[in-house]
């Protein structure tokens, strides 16, 4: 069995057959806070949908038998989407189940309070659209829906640098009473969806690209990653998402930050001791057509996933008072989400990129 096939088999084994915590097709995830020893099983569509998206992207470049396995994994994931769809039947999606709301599932406290119920978000929605086959009407409806919740449409962003407050960029959240938030990675994902489906561009798209560009160009994504990406507050994660967007569509607004991204990514890679961070940084360089030394991912075990997290929720991020926002950056107030199957999926992505890059370099 080859390396890539070995990883796919790991992912197949981790996909739930259906139990009290994880429905059939959903991948198990945990929300944790190592500082306070907190860990709970988390029934979310987030990891399952990004696993489906990543495997679909890889599936175009692999042998037929692997493609069949990927198609089966994705089909089981997509079968769960209705449970996470907007509670009123609209085509937006939530991090957690919606009918009824199962926010902070399997917990002891937060799940009992409506205050902690979150609205649908553009991140999960983008991946749901990317991994299904939406109609043109549904896509145009989504584009209009995004505009209605962008900064300035109903509410004005407060938790960002002053120079960004006039940008009509997309907010992470749907929901009429939710605060406006800019996140470089979330914006990269929704723009990926917009470019993928060749949707008409407008000021919201331009301003979203401007925000991404500025976060990189000003170095803020290195010096203050939490302020640039509340959900993905690490420089390596920001690089991973932005380079995926650039590699896919090369937006004109981002062309001139490419050399800086390459320089910064090489610098971070030379310093990083976390194995999975090294994987996503190396993938980012490959996407930007840069040569890298091979990482022996074929030797990875679950021990190499320790300490790696891909996504967080900041428990104080929603509070717009300056004092609470300053505290919101502290890891004590962060829940980290981890998922073993997603780590194996990142290794699938690395192996596929390595093969593709090596083949191109040898031509």
Q: For residues 66 and 4, is the Cβ–Cβ distance under 8 A?
A: yes
| Mean pLDDT, the chain, integer | 90
Mean pLDDT computed over 200-217: 98
24 falls within a domain: no
Tokens of 357: 């890059």
| CB 192, CB 244: distance < 8 Å | yes
Task: Name the token pair of 170.
Answer: 């997309």
Number of independent structural domains in the chain: 1
Whether residue 244 is contained in a domain is answered as yes
- 62 within some domain: yes
User: Which value, to the nearest 10 degrees, does the dihedral of the CA atoms of residues 38, 39, 43, 49 take?
Assistant: 100
CA angle 288, 303, 14 (to 5 degrees): 85
Residue 105 inside a domain? The answer is yes
Kindly report the number of other CB atoms within 10 A of residue 360's CB atom. 10
Does residue 22 belong to any structural domain of this protein? no
Q: Is residue 32 part of a domain?
A: no
Backbone angles phi, psi at 100, to 5 degrees: -80, 170
> Is 186 within a domain?
yes
In a domain, 276, yes or no: yes
Distance CA 124, CA 104 (A): 16
212 pLDDT higher than 70: yes
Q: Is the pLDDT of residue 324 over 80?
A: no
Runs of H (alpha helix) within the chain: 3-14, 46-59, 64-78, 81-84, 122-130, 136-148, 184-196, 203-217, 220-223, 225-228, 235-249, 258-271, 275-287, 322-327, 340-362
Locus of tokens 């009509």: 168
Give how far the C-alpha of residue 22 lies from the chain's centroid of Cα atoms, to the nearest Å.
20
Residue that has been written with the tokens 């989504």 in this structure: 142
DSSP letter, residue 32:
E
Q: Is the pLDDT of residue 313 over 90?
A: no
For residue 313, the cross-strand partners are: 335
Confidence of residue 185 (pLDDT cuts 50, 70, 90): very high
Give the separation between CA 126 and CA 123, rounded to whole angstroms: 5
**Mean predicted confidence (pLDDT) in 144-166:** 94
> Which CATH number belongs to the domain containing residue 355 in this structure?
1.50.10
> The domain containing residue 10 runs over which residues?
3-17+38-362
Whether the model pTM is above 0.85? yes
């Amino acid at each position: 069995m080859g390396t890539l096939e070995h990883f796919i088999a790991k992912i197949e084994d981790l996909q739930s057959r259906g139990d009290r915590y994880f429905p059939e097709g959903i991948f198990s995830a945990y929300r944790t806070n190592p500082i306070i020893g907190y860990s709970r099983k988390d029934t979310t569509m987030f990891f399952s949908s990004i696993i489906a998206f990543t495997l679909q992207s890889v599936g175009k470049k692999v042998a037929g038998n692997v493609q069949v396995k990927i198609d089966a994994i994705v089909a089981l994931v997509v079968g769960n989407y209705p449970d996470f769809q907007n509670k009123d039947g609209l085509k937006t999606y939530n991090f957690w189940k919606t009918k009824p709301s199962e926010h902070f599932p399997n917990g002891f406290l937060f799940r009992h309070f409506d205050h902690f119920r979150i609205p649908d978000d553009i991140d999960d929605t983008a991946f749901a659209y990317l991994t299904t086959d939406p109609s043109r009407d549904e896509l145009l409806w989504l584009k209009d829906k995004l505009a209605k919740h962008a900064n300035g449409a109903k509410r004005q962003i407060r938790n960002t640098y002053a120079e960004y407050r006039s940008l009509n960029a997309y907010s992470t959240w749907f929901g009429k009473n939710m605060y406006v938030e800019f996140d470089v990675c979330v914006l990269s994902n929704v723009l990926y969806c917009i470019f993928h489906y060749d949707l008409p561009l407008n000021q919201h798209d331009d301003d979203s690209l401007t925000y991404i560009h500025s976060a990189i160009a000003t170095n803020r994504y290195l010096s203050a990653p939490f302020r640039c990406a509340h959900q993905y507050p690490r420089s390596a994660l920001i690089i991973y998402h932005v380079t995926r967007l650039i590699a896919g569509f090369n937006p004109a607004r981002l062309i001139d930050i490419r050399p800086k991204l390459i320089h910064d990514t090489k610098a971070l890679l030379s310093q990083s001791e976390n194995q999975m961070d090294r994987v996503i940084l190396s993938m980012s360089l490959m996407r930007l057509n840069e040569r890298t030394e091979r990482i022996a991912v074929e030797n990875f075990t679950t021990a190499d996933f320790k300490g790696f997290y891909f996504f967080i929720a900041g428990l104080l991020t929603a509070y717009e008072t300056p004092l609470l926002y300053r505290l919101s950056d502290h890891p004590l107030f962060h829940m980290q989400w981890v998922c073993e199957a997603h780590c194996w999926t990142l290794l699938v992505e690395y192996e596929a990129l390595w093969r593709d890059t090596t083949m191109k370099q040898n031509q």
